[in-house]
Structure 1
Amino acid sequence: MPTLLLSSLFPLVFIMVLGWLSGKLGYTRREDASVLATVVIRFALPLHLFMGALKTDPEKIQNLPFMAVLVFGLMGSWLLALLISRFVFRHDIKTSAIQSLVCAFPDMAYFGAPVLAVLIGPEGFLGVLIGNLITSVLMIPLTIMLIRMGEKGSESEAVSLGSMIAANLFKAVRNPIVWIPILGVLLSLSGLKIPALLESPIEMMGKTAGGISLFALGLLFYGERPAFNIHTLTNISIKNLIQPALMVAAGLAVGLSHTFMQQVVIIGATPSAIAAGMFAIRSDTYVESASSSILLGTALGIVTEGIMIYLVS
């Protein structure tokens, strides 16, 4: 068990420390994290998700009970966080959108995937893929739509709520992190392949997403003392505790097999995605609370993920 935890979690900590050292030694500035965030959100992560979808058996993508559990756990915690942020903390809609993403977007690709690979094997990537598809098709577009609505200044524009939602949803779908993974799913379901000459550079770029994200997060934390307050406590509680609880409840309700239950529990217990912090940086909203929640949640997530690994194995 110690070897399993070390091999799964040590690379994440190592790369984040490199980013922190880069800032401390003056090789990069903390402001450079926003440039790295753009590379991840616009290019590397969409292409990584594209290749994951393209290489997955179409029948596995259509596993409806498994998908339903992940939808319930991911979107249920997203909606819960949105309501708490809007009506308890009284945040504006843009800030609420970012907070809900921090609370509900698990770091499946770079935290959950290594754990599942060691615990389950290649089949473990299925949960990561479907989970990322759900976030790409539902969570991220809705978050982007709410962010754009918050930036709209709608009081000065005589447009209906329906047309505003439609316009912002259309803009969200045009985002590369949304339509590129969806394209990968459509190609997989249709049985189409892309040329090997094109596949190689796409895969090469996609593989950089994890390293760049972790490095940027480490750089972002340089010179910052994470704040532990009611916001970070709420965010970490929803992500690390409530989300896996929702996964377990839904999994038991639909009668998931042990292997699939392992996947949803591990994914639910995975700390907040670094990409959520990248969205906060890009939007210049909720940055301090988001980064504190991700840093402290990741540190705590090493413990909670270890407990979950012990329980499900």
Structure 2
Amino acid sequence: MLNTILNGLLPVAFVIMLGWLSARIGLLKHGDADVFATLIIRFALPFALFEGAVRTSPDKLHNVGFALCLTLGLMGTYVIALGIGRFVFRHDLRTATMQALVCAFPDMAYFGAPILAAVFGPEGFLAVLVGNLITSLFMLPLTIVLTGLGNNNGTATERTDVLRVFRQSIARAVIHPIVWLPVSGMVLSFCHVTLPEPVLTSVGLIAKAAGGTSLFALGLMLYGERFVINANILVNLGIKNFVQPALMALGAVLFGVVGAPAHQAIITGAVPTATAAAMFAIKSNTYTRDATATILVSTILGVFTEGLLIACFF
């Protein structure tokens, strides 16, 4: 069991440390993280999600109860965090949206996958694949739309014309690679279209860069940042590491998900915040310090919550 947890944590800590050291010895600068963020959000992560979708058998996506359970856990957490950010902390819409993404977007692919595979075997990847499809179809497009609506850089006329801004935000979301590429992969899967192996190999080459590059960029971002714990971060940790797995458990009860799939959903909910959330914060120049601090502490805390859940289930 200790090896299971270490297999999920040690690679994460190692790559983050490499990013931090690269800034410490002067090979890269703190500001270079923005370049990595562009690579991740525009190329590596969309293709990683596309590859996961297109390689998933449509039969594995037909478990409606399991999908609804994950949707409740992921999007329910998003809505709760958005409401807290907007009405409790009184953030503007753009900042509250980033806080919601930080609280609701678990690092399923790069932290959760090794643990789920070690505990459940190959079927453990189902939660990762379905969860990533839910974030691609709902969470990330909603984030793009809401940050577009909360953009204060437009003219006064644009800010008052809510419908026009909303249409523009929807259009930006639809054409964003992180939205249409995973959706395209899901469509190909449901249509039983098998892409040629050279195409999949080409996609996989850039897709594999998403995980390591995200973690490296996080380490680069953390260098020079003063470690902080404030009310925002404490609330984020409570929502991400405790409320989200609780919502997954509630979803399992409501939608009749039992056994290994229920355990997969709950363990997925306890996975720390995805580094991609920090990349979104960098690209929108919003909530960056609290996002990186939340990811760092959430990752450390995630080791204990995951270990506790594994000990309870097995």
Q: TM-score, normalised by structure 1?
A: 0.97
Q: What is the letter of the counterpart of residue 176 of structure 2?
A: N
- What are the residue-to-residue correspondences of 1:1-40 with 2, within 5 Å? 1-40=1-40
Q: Deviation of residue 93 (structure 1)?
A: 0.6
Instruction: Tell me if structure 1 keeps the 8 A contact 2:78–2:100.
Output: yes
Name the counterpart of 1:231: 232
Name the counterpart of 1:251: 252
Q: Deviation of residue 26 (structure 1)?
A: 1.0
Q: What is the letter of the counterpart of residue 25 of structure 2?
A: L
Name the counterpart of 1:54: 54
SS at match of 1:121: helix
Q: Deviation of residue 154 (structure 1)?
A: 6.8
Give me the whole-angstrom Cα distance separating, in 1, the residues matched to 2:180 and 2:237. 29
Instruction: Tell me if structure 2 keeps the 8 A contact 1:108–1:128.
Output: yes
Give me the whole-angstrom Cα distance separating, in 2, the residues matched to 1:198 and 1:299. 37
Identify which range, 161-170 or 130-139, moves more after superposition.
161-170
- What are the residue-to-residue correspondences of 1:80-99 with 2, within 5 Å? 80-99=80-99
Q: Deviation of residue 163 (structure 1)?
A: 4.2
Q: Deviation of residue 155 (structure 1)?
A: 4.3
For structure 1, the residue ranges without an aligned partner over 5 or more in a row are: none
Give me the whole-angstrom Cα distance separating, in 2, the residues matched to 1:304 and 1:33. 29
Give me the whole-angstrom Cα distance separating, in 2, the residues matched to 1:84 and 1:158. 23
For structure 2, the residue ranges without an aligned partner over 5 or more in a row are: none
Q: Deviation of residue 37 (structure 1)?
A: 1.0
Instruction: Tell me if structure 1 keeps the 8 A contact 2:148–2:165.
Output: no
Name the counterpart of 1:132: 132
Instruction: Tell me if structure 1 keeps the 8 A contact 2:158–2:165.
Output: no
Q: Deviation of residue 98 (structure 1)?
A: 0.5
SS at match of 2:150: helix
Q: Deviation of residue 164 (structure 1)?
A: 3.1
SS at match of 1:3: helix
Name the counterpart of 1:109: 109
Name the counterpart of 1:285: 286
Instruction: Tell me if structure 2 keeps the 8 A contact 1:226–1:291.
Output: no
Q: Deviations over 1:114-148 (max 9, x none)?
A: 11010111111111111111111101111111111
Q: What is the letter of the counterpart of residue 276 of structure 1?
A: A
Q: Do structure 1's residue 205 and structure 2's residue 206 form an aligned pair? A: yes
Structure 1 residues 158, 284: CA separation in 2 closer, same or farther (over 3 Å shift)? closer
Q: Deviation of residue 158 (structure 1)?
A: 7.8
SS at match of 2:90: coil
Q: What is the letter of the counterpart of residue 301 of structure 2?
A: L
Q: Deviations over 1:260-306 (max 9, x none)?
A: 01110111000111000000001111111111111111111111111
Structure 1 residues 80, 201: CA separation in 2 closer, same or farther (over 3 Å shift)? same
Give me the whole-angstrom Cα distance separating, in 2, the residues matched to 1:287 and 1:40. 16
Q: What is the letter of the counterpart of residue 256 of structure 2?
A: G
Give me the whole-angstrom Cα distance separating, in 2, the residues matched to 1:312 and 1:23. 41
Instruction: Tell me if structure 2 keeps the 8 A contact 1:19–1:219.
Output: yes
Q: Deviation of residue 194 (structure 1)?
A: 1.7
Q: What is the letter of the counterpart of residue 65 of structure 1?
A: G
Give me the whole-angstrom Cα distance separating, in 1, the residues matched to 2:101 and 2:310. 24
SS at match of 1:277: helix
Q: Do structure 1's residue 150 and structure 2's residue 150 form an aligned pair? A: yes
For these two proteins, the number of residue pairs brought into alignment is 313
Identity of aligned residues (%): 48
Instruction: Tell me if structure 2 keeps the 8 A contact 1:149–1:164.
Output: yes
Give me the whole-angstrom Cα distance separating, in 1, the residues matched to 2:40 and 2:200. 18
